[in-house]
Amino acid sequence: MLSIKNLTASIEENKILNNLSLNIGKGEVHALMGPNGSGKSTLSNILAGKEEYQILSGEIIFNGNNLLDLDIEERSQKGLFLAFQYPVEIPGVNITPFLLTALNSKLKKEGKKEIDNLTFAKNIKHIASELGIQKEMLSRSVNEGFSGGEKKRFEILQMSILKPLLSILDETDSGLDVDALRVVTDGVNKLRNPESSFLIITHYQRLLDYIEPDFVHVIHEGRITKTGNISVAQEIEKNGYKNLI
């Protein structure tokens, strides 16, 4: 699904990622943990297609495509979803038509039949209620005045509608209260299926109490220093990163 091979990348002459390799298979949930400044956000920004980074070597293959050849729009059409991909406020654009447009553009690209307003309005209400998202939210403007928790709810809603092949959630737990954290973790657990993969970037083990990842990776100084199962996260919780980097 995603194969990152020997990726070395810099920003403003500073090498941040250092020969980093990571493979994510279909249907797998991977957690990426690491101390501040280890390169987690740099990696997700590069996957997202942000342009300020220099790729010095390595490759990223996503579902058979050379990811680095694709622009941001193409990446999302190929099934990559980044939780912070649309953090902008779009005043006056309601969530429901926004998501319908996104979904229909995806269906059209796949040569599938588009969905009409009425059917979609029904579907989205159903999905929102399953995710514990209040229906009032569906008529709000995209991200306008959203709290941290509401932004996360909206991301989960987007993922439920667009059904990406790979979802990347960066720092999903920063600043979330317990309820918002549960919406995110329950959402991911509901969306887990053999076709959908997840990369969950987090500082804290507490998120992983709710989402049990198949693999946990530790990143330090721009490379993966340890890969294992949930016990790696438990070790971090107990002793910090000292034995893992």
- The residues of the shown chain that bind ligand ADP, judged by CB under 6 A, are 11-12, 14, 16, 34, 36-42
Query: In 49-85, which positions are buried (b, 16+ CB within 10 angstroms) versus exposed (e)?
Result: beeebeeeebebebeeeebbebeeeebbebbbbbbbb
Q: Which of 189, 235, 236, 243 is nearest to 213 (CA)?
A: 189
Task: Answer with the entry of ligand ADP, Mg ion, none that 213 interacts with (C-beta below 5 to 8 A by kind).
Answer: none
In the bound state with Mg ion, the residue whose beta carbon lies nearer, of 157 and 169, is 169
The CB-of-124 to ligand ADP minimum distance in angstroms stands at 32
- Give CA–CA dist 1/217, Å, rounded: 17
41 binds Mg ion (CB under 5 A): yes
In the bound state with ligand ADP, the residue whose beta carbon lies nearer, of 42 and 172, is 42
Span from 41-49, 85-93, 95-103, 157-165 in contact with Mg ion (CB under 5 A) = 41-49
* Contacts of residue 92, Cβ cutoff 8 Å, sequence gap at least 6: 141
The CB-of-34 to ligand ADP minimum distance in angstroms stands at 5
Task: Answer with the entry of Mg ion, ligand ADP, none that 36 interacts with (C-beta below 5 to 8 A by kind).
Answer: ligand ADP
Using CA atoms, how far residue 20 sits from 6, 15, 43, in Å, is 5, 12, 9
Strands 80-82 and 166-170: parallel
Task: Answer with the entry of Mg ion, ligand ADP, none that 42 interacts with (C-beta below 5 to 8 A by kind).
Answer: ligand ADP
Q: In the block, which residue shows the tokens 């249907």?
A: 27
Taking the alpha carbons at both ends of the chain, their separation in whole angstroms is: 27
Task: Answer with the entry of ligand ADP, Mg ion, none that 34 interacts with (C-beta below 5 to 8 A by kind).
Answer: ligand ADP
Q: Which of 2, 27, 25, 29 is nearest to 210 (CA)?
A: 29
In the bound state with ligand ADP, the residue whose beta carbon lies nearer, of 12 and 136, is 12
**What one-letter code names the amino acid at 149?**
G
Q: How many residues belong to the site for Mg ion (CB under 5 A)? A: 2
The CB-of-12 to ligand ADP minimum distance in angstroms stands at 5
In the bound state with ligand ADP, the residue whose beta carbon lies nearer, of 36 and 231, is 36
The CB-of-41 to Mg ion minimum distance in angstroms stands at 3
* Contacts of residue 45, Cβ cutoff 8 Å, sequence gap at least 6: 52, 53
**What one-letter code names the amino acid at 19?**
N
The CB-of-22 to Mg ion minimum distance in angstroms stands at 16
The CB-of-52 to ligand ADP minimum distance in angstroms stands at 7
- Give CA–CA dist 84/90, Å, rounded: 14
In the bound state with ligand ADP, the residue whose beta carbon lies nearer, of 11 and 191, is 11
Task: Answer with the entry of ligand ADP, Mg ion, none that 37 interacts with (C-beta below 5 to 8 A by kind).
Answer: ligand ADP
Which residues of this protein are in contact with Mg ion, per CB under 5 A?
Answer: 40-41
